[in-house]
């Protein structure tokens, strides 16, 4: 039985559809209920719906054998897992943004609001720029508007949230997409099954021109 942690939401549903096509179906997952665990003994899979930012925790600790999470989470938490495949979906970017026209003259410590503290610290350390990190848990875009911070480091997908709050991207930190990850020990024990899933998904990516 392979245990698979999927991120709750549209991305997870899209990934499930791909896994189903790759031969890892679990029809009960489509029942419209509040259950979080679904199993199909025939195809040897058990799926869990978990909070997207928690997938790597389940996989790292072996509660799930494989899972799907964003590159943002891998960069921030650096879980000890194998990153097996770029699923080329859930595409967005980590970016620095600020109020329109903001210019960093470098003369004082830069105030940076973010959910991604390690990403922000690493990014500015590489530039040798002193920062004061303000950890927030959501609605990061409000911080520069209220003067809580000079800039934010956050995920930008369509850019709508920035635009509607009169902010703009200053620079891109790194591109993001969903990744298939595996628990290291589980990969050793279930190599054949995980490789079979991997091959099925890779084939699908080829057939669809990278759009799951």
For binding to ligand PRP (CB under 6 A), which residues are involved? 138-141, 154-161
Nearest approach in angstroms of CB 107 to ligand PRP is 29
The residue (of 109 and 172) whose beta carbon lies closer to ligand PRP is 172
Q: How far apart are CA 154 and CA 169, in angstroms?
A: 10
3-class DSSP state for residue 191? Answer: helix
Residues in Cβ contact with 154 at an 8 Å cutoff, skipping those fewer than 6 apart: 94, 95, 97, 114, 115, 116, 140, 141
Nearer to ligand PRP, 87 or 95 (CB): 95
C-alpha span between 192 and 187 (Å, rounded): 9
Q: How far is the CB of 16 from ligand PRP (least distance, A)?
A: 20
CB of 140 to ligand PRP, least distance (A): 6
29 or 120, CB closer to ligand PRP?
Answer: 120
Output the residue with the shortest Cβ distance to ligand PRP.
138
The answer to whether the beta carbons of residues 38 and 29 sit under 8 Å apart is yes
Q: How far is CA 151 from CA 62, 111, 137, 142, in A?
A: 37, 7, 15, 10
Closer to ligand PRP by CB, 85 or 91: give it: 91
Measured from the CB atom, the residue of 66 and 115 that comes closer to ligand PRP is 115
Smallest separation (angstroms) from ligand PRP to the CB of 102: 18
| HSE value, Cβ hemisphere, 13 Å, CA-based, for 55 | 29
CA atoms within 13 A on the CB side of 188: 4
Task: Give the nearest distance from C-beta 29 to ligand PRP in angstroms.
Answer: 23
DSSP label of 118: H
Nearer of residues 128 and 138 to ligand PRP, judged by Cβ: 138
- The residue written with tokens 């699923």 in the block is 87
CB of 135 to ligand PRP, least distance (A): 13
């Amino acid at each position: 039985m392979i245990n698979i942690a999927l991120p709750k939401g549209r991305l997870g549903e899209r990934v499930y559809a791909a896994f189903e096509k790759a031969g890892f179906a679990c029809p009960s997952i489509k029942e419209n209920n509040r259950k979080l665990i679904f199993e199909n003994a025939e195809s040897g899979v058990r799926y869990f719906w978990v909070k997207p930012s928690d997938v790597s925790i389940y996989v790292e600790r072996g509660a799930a054998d494989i899972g799907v999470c964003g590159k943002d989470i891998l960069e921030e938490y650096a879980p000890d897992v194998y990153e097996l495949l770029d699923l080329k979906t859930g595409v967005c970017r980590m970016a620095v943004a600020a109020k329109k026209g903001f210019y960093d003259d470098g003369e004082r410590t830069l105030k940076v609001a973010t959910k991604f503290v390690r990403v922000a610290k690493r990014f500015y350390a590489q530039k040798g720029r002193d920062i004061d990190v303000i950890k927030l848990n959501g609605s990061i875009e409000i911080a520069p508007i209220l003067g809580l911070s000079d800039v934010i480091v956050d995920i930008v997908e369509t850019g709508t949230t920035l635009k509607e709050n009169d902010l703009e991207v200053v620079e891109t930190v790194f591109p993001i997409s969903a990744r298939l990850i595996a628990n290291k020990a589980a990969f050793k024990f279930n190599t054949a099954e995980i490789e079979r899933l991997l091959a099925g998904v890779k084939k699908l990516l080829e057939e669809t021109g990278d759009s799951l």
